[in-house]
Amino acid sequence: MKIITKTLMASCIACACASLPVLAAEKVDLIITNAQILPMDGQQRVIDDGAIVVKGNKIVALGEMKIASQYEAKRTIDAGGDIVMPGMINTHNHIPMVAFRGLGENGVENRLINFMFPLEKEMLSRDLIRTASRHAAMELALSGVTLITDMYYHEDEVAKSVAEVGIRGVLGETVIGFPVVDAKQPYGGLEYAEKFIDEWKDHPLITPAVAPHAPYTVSAEWLIKAKDLAVEKQVPLLTHLAEFTWEESKTDAFSEQMQPGQSVIEYLDSIGFLVDNLVAAHVNHLDEQDMALLKKHGVGIAHNPKANTKGNNGYSPSWDMVNKGLDVGLGTDGPMSSNQMDIINVMGYAAVVARTNHGDNAKFTPYELVELATIGGARVLDMDDEIGSLEVGKKADIVIVDTDAPNTQPNYDPFATLAFSAYPQNVTHTIVDGKVIVADGKLTTVSQQAHDKEWLPVTKKVGEFAKTLN
């Protein structure tokens, strides 16, 4: 069938040459051919033997292979039947913490307060944050993550590294009620955030944001100041929410405005903190009324099933939230919590958590899991009109996943292959904003060798200090 089509096309072109003016092929930058396309455009469809055409940073055409003949591309990638999908979106992380990955893994009680905060106090610097962020961004790009959402300190250094590697970043400068590496005064992060937002707001890959850490580390007054800044500058507002069972008692003790008997979510509603540009990470411990409040205010949910279960912090009712119409995407949390930063692994954890929670193996189908990993994340960040699916007019954030590897064969159902069988190492190509930043499993934007010269001394220093903590 394919051969006949090609023969017909060839003869048509031949007669056109003889008797009709030749229509010039449109010049474009990139065509991906022989693709098993998962558009994730809401139609739950697969385009086998497809092609995607990219001009500049946008998708200008996609469909059956025959569309490719209308274009002349500077570069063609033959996908060889592999899965071609939207770039994956990580909706919650603290990427510079990759410098501390693997430390304090032997059951430290209240690890955040007793281990992570002291480690950060001693070790963090502008240089560590920039180098570790580059390391993380490289790992993310290689795993097919095309957008990272981050909350940390010196976010301008995070931004430099994320942009250098070439993935997108929604990067929130942390506001917290004690002195930290980039703010000598409690809550100094707010001033830092305002400057960071003004400096980076027009960058094509970076969306600067403000990130009040959590209701138990930020007072009501400063939560509202952070929210007001996000609303005024029209940027995302990132926070941790209802992650721990102890959160209500600590928030109650911390904030004079929390009323007895209120849940943390009711408290945040009462002070006017819940707004539609808020992205709340975790959201494990909540009831129906809390869910209704989050939905009413259009709050996006970053679901981190691996970090939550590894840290024994509970199970988010993510399936219920999705089915009540809340926007839910997938995240990993920081590399001390989840260790891996890719989203391919998180799809499987999301299914395991939902199915265990409900005692039902139908909760989250493979298609729904791929939705959470792509367009779901874009909805959480209010960026779904630009990214999250493969559609004409959208930005070209595209990932190719090898379906000829032993672990991705057989590939009867590409959604099941991705959600349950694939490894991040199966990603062969990552394209962000039309630019190929990973080709044949190798980064094209930064040199591993040059990076290692900065990275290895960082891990040596951290490793030496970590020995004093035990």
Number of residue whose CB is nearest Zn ion: 333
Choose between 29 and 333: whose C-beta lies nearer to Zn ion.
Answer: 333
Query: In this complex, which beta carbon is closest to Zn ion, that of residue 290 or of residue 333?
Result: 333
Site string for Zn ion, 356-395 (x = CB under 5 A): ----------------------------------------
What is the nearest approach in angstroms of Zn ion to the Cβ of residue 437? Answer: 25
Sequence-ordered strand ranges (E) for 185-224: 206-212
Q: How many CA atoms lie within 13 A of 182 on its CB side?
A: 23
CB of 258 to Zn ion, least distance (A): 21
Cα–Cα distances in Å, from 202 out to 90, 156, 205, 396, 436? 21, 14, 9, 19, 22
247 makes contact with Zn ion (CB under 5 A): no
**Where does this chain touch Zn ion (CB under 5 A) — which range of 10-18, 97-105, 310-318, 325-333?**
325-333
Minimum CB separation of residue 97 from Zn ion in Å reads 9
The answer to whether 28 touches 53, Cβ cutoff 8 Å, is yes
Amino acid at site 233: K
Could you give the CA distance from residue 449 to residue 135 in angstroms, rounded to a whole number?
12
Least spacing, CB of residue 241 vs Zn ion, in Å: 10
What is the C-alpha radius of gyration for the chain, rounded to an integer number of angstroms?
A: 23
Minimum CB–partner distance for residue 214 and Zn ion (Å) = 9
Under the criterion CB under 5 A, does residue 82 sit at the interface with Zn ion? no
Specify the residue, 30 or 162, whose C-beta has the smaller distance to Zn ion: 162
- Binding part of the chain for Zn ion, among 102-110, 272-280, 331-339, 352-360 by CB under 5 A, reads 331-339
Segment interacting with Zn ion (CB under 5 A) among 103-111, 310-318, 327-335, 418-426: 327-335
Which residues between 21 and 60 bind Zn ion (CB under 5 A)?
none
Which CB atom, from 333 or from 433, has the smaller least distance to Zn ion? Answer: 333
The answer to whether the beta carbons of residues 241 and 269 sit under 8 Å apart is no
294-313 burial string, b = 16+ CB within 10 Å, else e? beebebbbbbbbbbbbebeb
Secondary-structure percent of the chain, ordered helix, strand, coil, rounded to 5 = 40, 20, 35
Give whichever of 121 and 453 is closer to Zn ion, judged by the CB atom: 121
Residue the block writes with tokens 């592999």: 82
Give buried/exposed letters for 361-399 (b at 16+ CB in 10 A, else e).
eebbebbbbbbbbbbbbbbbbbbbeebbbbeeebbbbbb
Should residue 243 be labelled a site residue for Zn ion when binding is judged by CB under 5 A?
no
Size of the site for Zn ion (CB under 5 A): 1
Question: Which of 182, 269, 333, 397 is close enough to bind Zn ion by CB under 5 A?
Answer: 333
Q: Are strands 427-432 and 398-401 parallel, antiparallel or unpaired?
A: antiparallel
Which is nearest to 446 in space by CA: 100, 139, 93, 57? 139
Q: Do the beta carbons of residue 71 and residue 53 sit within 8 Å?
A: yes
Stretch that binds Zn ion, among 104-112, 176-184, 284-292, 333-341 (CB under 5 A): 333-341
Contact 68, 79 (CB under 8 A): no
> Which of 139/368 has CB closer to Zn ion?
139
Q: Which of 52, 123, 55, 96 is nearest to 465 (CA)?
A: 123
Q: Which stretch binds Zn ion (CB under 5 A): 32-40, 332-340, 404-412, 433-441?
A: 332-340
**Which residue's CB is nearer to Zn ion, number 182 or number 333?**
333
Residue 156 or 333: the one with the smaller Cβ distance to Zn ion is 333
| The one segment of 152-160, 260-268, 328-336, 420-428 that binds Zn ion by CB under 5 A | 328-336
| Nearest approach, Cβ of residue 48 and Zn ion (Å) | 39
Which residues are near Zn ion by CB under 5 A?
333
